[in-house]
A and B are shown apart, each in its own frame.
Chain A
């Protein structure tokens, strides 16, 4: 079933076209990789889908419903959750309270129920000492907390913006396993932005490639990685 349908989505910043006429869809149970060089428009895409910014033109449909201009908090309630490339822990709330927020506001749970659910979620992700300040957490714990916070919305679409960045290879492998099992368990449509191609290859069923705001290729990773335009985009970006 199609969870998210993007049609001709475009967003300009002053003169710059950050996302240009992009169309594709995300399916239930599918992990979609979103790749492209720096500045390709990946974060812009996530911002548009989660309602943090509004598109210049185009359309976003979630489970058949037009949400193109719906406010961000409403989309969170409908079932779209995300993490941030630049992490934003709520520093005046403890670890577990950070995770409770989505449960309270996106799901409308009472504080007791939210605390119980947050505890379960943290346990599933291997987070401990839940009363700690977020300033006391390791990078891995912060990344897990960010994922837990997004999952607390009980989303159907989950967008992860470079959650693996800054982790070592063991930690990355651990988190890949967790994302996979969570996605499967909850039958999520997951969008994953990552720069590390090993992560994309291991994690995703399908990949879309953005370059300078344009969708230049899509398909399984093995196929897309052989696409000459994609190779050129990456080499061009590296040069």
Chain B
């Protein structure tokens, strides 16, 4: 029915996103870059959530990617571009090892362990000052693409494109069946031949790699990293709130949520400093209590009811 309409809307939105630097000034571009980065993180969080695993580890993998990128440049002489790819690979490899240890855990045990990841990495980086720069962090000689505002924007958009492609890939492939079956019922998933651990590991490594990639893009865009800046809990909480608001278990939900919350937060930040964090907290609570499927779920319910009335 309106599937073609949706496709058209997505294509237009994509074109507008790519063309934005042509007609937006420095400030809107900066805001858009921020929204896009959190949107990408929200999508990756949702991808793993489709298996029923609630990760609080986004900041951990994001920070690992960020440090892999800066240290790749400073200690191994990588080019900024290579360091971004290295960030993804390093976060992927780290998550592969971590996944072996933690993907047998479920529910809050899994969540709590992932929450600890950022803390563990932060402590490690604090305590290896010769190599990592310690608590003061490290500064790069320059920002990628000489800090060109549109260049940085497009780079971040590229990160989003990777997250979107991966998410659609999950939705359209056997991954969708594996993750949904695992989320619904592990026992019957096993009886249908699903190797649960293996599929969870693939999903965890893919999403962690993208989170690392985004961390790499982030530090290369700002030119420095400190443990407190790149392992900031906001990198976990904001994407989570966005996906919840927009609607979980879909690609479109986190996209919608990121646009709404990202813009709302920007507006609030100008009025009440730190007030946006309170708003995030309130939104998470309200959505979980009253709108567990988010705005997208609500919209589908409403349009479904309308379809039925018409029929």
Stretch in B22-30, B35-43, B178-186 touching the partner: B178-186
Q: Judge whether A105 and B174 touch: CB under 8 Å.
A: yes
Bound Cα distance from A52 to B196, whole angstroms: 13
Q: Judge whether A92 and B194 touch: CB under 8 Å.
A: no
Per-position 1/0 for A36-63, Cβ under 8 A of B? 0000000000000011100000000000
Selected from B180, B183, B193, B249, the residue in CB contact (under 8 A) with A105 is B193
- Asked if B79 is an interface residue, CB under 8 A from chain A, the answer is no
Bound Cα distance from A77 to B190, whole angstroms: 10
Selected from B181, B196, B249, the residue in CB contact (under 8 A) with A90 is B181
Please name the residue on chain A nearest to B180 by beta carbon.
A92
Known: A93-B177, A97-B177. A88 touches B188 (CB 8 A): yes
Known: A82-B191, A152-B192, A153-B193. A104 touches B177 (CB 8 A): yes
Selected from A76, A89, A92, A111, the residue in CB contact (under 8 A) with B192 is A76
- Asked if A193 is an interface residue, CB under 8 A from chain B, the answer is no
Q: Judge whether A104 and B174 touch: CB under 8 Å.
A: yes
- Asked if A102 is an interface residue, CB under 8 A from chain B, the answer is yes
Q: Judge whether B192 and A153 touch: CB under 8 Å.
A: yes
Bound Cα distance from A105 to B189, whole angstroms: 9
Chain A residues within 8 Å of B180, by CB: 90, 92-93
Chain A residues within 8 Å of B189, by CB: 90, 101
Chain B residues within 8 Å of A100, by CB: 177
Bound Cα distance from A100 to B193, whole angstroms: 11
Known: A77-B193, A105-B174, A153-B193. A84 touches B188 (CB 8 A): yes
Q: Judge whether B193 and A111 touch: CB under 8 Å.
A: no
Please name the residue on chain A nearest to B198 by beta carbon.
A73
- Asked if B173 is an interface residue, CB under 8 A from chain A, the answer is yes
Q: Judge whether A106 and B192 touch: CB under 8 Å.
A: yes
What distance in Å separates the Cβ of A75 from its nearest Cβ neighbour in chain B? 8
- Asked if A72 is an interface residue, CB under 8 A from chain B, the answer is yes
Selected from A82, A88, A101, A149, the residue in CB contact (under 8 A) with B177 is A101
Chain B residues within 8 Å of A82, by CB: 191
- Asked if B266 is an interface residue, CB under 8 A from chain A, the answer is no
Q: Judge whether B181 and A111 touch: CB under 8 Å.
A: no
- Asked if B127 is an interface residue, CB under 8 A from chain A, the answer is no
Bound Cα distance from A77 to B181, whole angstroms: 16
- Asked if A195 is an interface residue, CB under 8 A from chain B, the answer is no
Chain B residues within 8 Å of A104, by CB: 174, 177, 193
Tally the A-B contacts, defined by beta carbons under 8 Å. 78
Please name the residue on chain B nearest to A102 by beta carbon.
B192
Chain A residues within 8 Å of B191, by CB: 50, 52, 72-73, 76, 81-82, 84, 150, 153
What distance in Å separates the Cβ of A170 from its nearest Cβ neighbour in chain B? 28
Bound Cα distance from A89 to B187, whole angstroms: 11
Chain A residues within 8 Å of B174, by CB: 104-105, 111
Chain A residues within 8 Å of B178, by CB: 105
Q: Judge whether B190 and A92 touch: CB under 8 Å.
A: no
- Asked if A184 is an interface residue, CB under 8 A from chain B, the answer is no
Chain A residues within 8 Å of B187, by CB: 52, 84, 88
Known: A52-B191, A97-B177. A73 touches B196 (CB 8 A): yes
| Contact residues, A58-98 vs B (CB, 8 A) | 71-73, 76-77, 81-82, 84, 88-93, 97
Selected from A51, A92, A111, the residue in CB contact (under 8 A) with B184 is A92
What distance in Å separates the Cβ of A76 from its nearest Cβ neighbour in chain B? 4
Please name the residue on chain B nearest to A101 by beta carbon.
B192
Chain B residues within 8 Å of A102, by CB: 192-193
Q: Judge whether A101 and B184 touch: CB under 8 Å.
A: no
Known: A90-B188, A101-B189, A111-B173. A73 touches B194 (CB 8 A): yes
- Asked if A5 is an interface residue, CB under 8 A from chain B, the answer is no
Bound Cα distance from A105 to B173, whole angstroms: 12
Please name the residue on chain B nearest to A134 by beta carbon.
B184
Chain A residues within 8 Å of B177, by CB: 93, 97, 100-101, 104-105, 111
Known: A92-B180, A104-B174. A73 touches B188 (CB 8 A): no
Q: Judge whether B181 and A93 touch: CB under 8 Å.
A: yes
| Contact residues, B116-173 vs A (CB, 8 A) | 173
Chain A residues within 8 Å of B228, by CB: none
Per-position 1/0 for A88-131, Cβ under 8 A of B? 11111100010011101111000100000000000000000000
| 19 A-B pairs whose Cβ atoms sit less than 8 Å apart in the complex | A50-B191, A71-B195, A73-B191, A73-B196, A84-B188, A84-B191, A88-B188, A90-B184, A90-B189, A91-B184, A92-B183, A92-B184, A93-B180, A93-B184, A104-B174, A105-B178, A105-B193, A107-B193, A153-B192
- Ordered nearest first, which 6 A-B pairs have the shortest CB separation? A106-B193, A105-B193, A76-B193, A72-B190, A90-B184, A88-B188
- A73-B191, A101-B177 given; 20 more Cβ-contact pairs under 8 Å: A71-B190, A72-B190, A73-B190, A73-B192, A73-B193, A73-B194, A76-B192, A76-B193, A77-B193, A88-B184, A88-B187, A92-B180, A101-B192, A102-B192, A105-B177, A105-B195, A107-B193, A111-B177, A149-B188, A153-B193
